Amino acid sequence: MRHKNVEIVAEKCALQEILDVIGGKWAMSIIYALFSGTRRFSELERMIPGINTRMLVKELKNLTQNGIVTRKVYPTVPPTVEYTLTPKGRKLEPSIAELYKWGQEYVK
Amino acid sequence: MRHKNVEIVAEKCALQEILDVIGGKWAMSIIYALFSGTRRFSELERMIPGINTRMLVKELKNLTQNGIVTRKVYPTVPPTVEYTLTPKGRKLEPSIAELYKWGQEYVK
DNA sequence: CAGAATCCACCTCGATACTG
DNA sequence: CAGTATCGAGGTGGATTCTG
């Protein structure tokens, strides 16, 4: 099973972005929550116990900049903002669902 | 596509361990490298450009403690140490392979 | 060869208070 | 409702040097 020639793995650009997207403490929770459909800011806040406003804002901004979610603002009073996964974001579903399964199988 | 009832997602224990395992800057590279089979410390160091000794040691220790890799020491001079994925570690293969594919598809 | 030991510059995250 | 602003503690990762 050992190879004599050691191939170089992990070209950094791809890895960098993957960790940018799912490496944050709350990122996977948010993406996971959005798998079930479009959500408002306050809905996400309630779906993810333990997160606080600052973290949710920050992570959503990051995910938006990375093209994972879109942010739609309705000019109502009080304001309404909805977050939805982009196609790029939805393509994360299989991997993240698998990771969740893994985590549940091996939780101590 | 909107649900009236907001389900709670992301029970924290599972997520916590997933991020513990793959959230580190070099963790995925190491696991990915070990998909191809057992590797020595120095092999891993060469397979993963940009990593340094301290980080490789630290991450391997973490992965060992999390039951992802096993560490086998041969009492030779100079020392030989081999790292291998456990069954638990190998079960990460589908998710991580998917993530890699995703990263390569969406790299800017 | 396979680490251990230091030192340090960030950076991340949490809590809290405030606003259009 | 959906954020912004501020503060501080702790953690993370990088460079480098040393050792059995």
Domain boundaries, chain B: 2-106
Q: A25-54, pLDDT tens digit by residue?
A: 999 999 999 999 999 999 999 999 999 999
Q: A58-73, pLDDT tens digit by residue?
A: 999 999 999 999 999 9
| A99 pLDDT above the threshold of 90 | yes
- Helices A27-35 & A53-65, crossing angle to 10 degrees? 70
Residues in CB range of B6: below 8 A, 6 or more apart:
A39, A43, A46, A47
Give residue A9's pLDDT. 74
Q: Which residue is nearest to nucleotide D13 (CA to C1')?
A: B55
Domain covering A2-106 assigned CATH 1.10.10.10 in the classification: yes
**Residue A87 host element (H or E):** helix A87-90
What pLDDT band is residue A10 in, cutting at 50, 70 and 90? Answer: low
pTM given for the model: 0.91
Q: Which residue of B has its CA nearest to A24?
A: B23
Q: Which residue of A has its CA nearest to B91?
A: A102
Contact in structure between A86 and A70 (CB atoms under 8 Å): yes
Angle at B100 between CA A23 and CA B108, to 5 degrees: 85
- Please list every residue in chain B whose beta carbon sits closer than 8 Å to the beta carbon of residue A96: 95
Give residue A11's pLDDT. 62
Rounded to whole angstroms, the Cα distance separating B10 from B106 reads 26
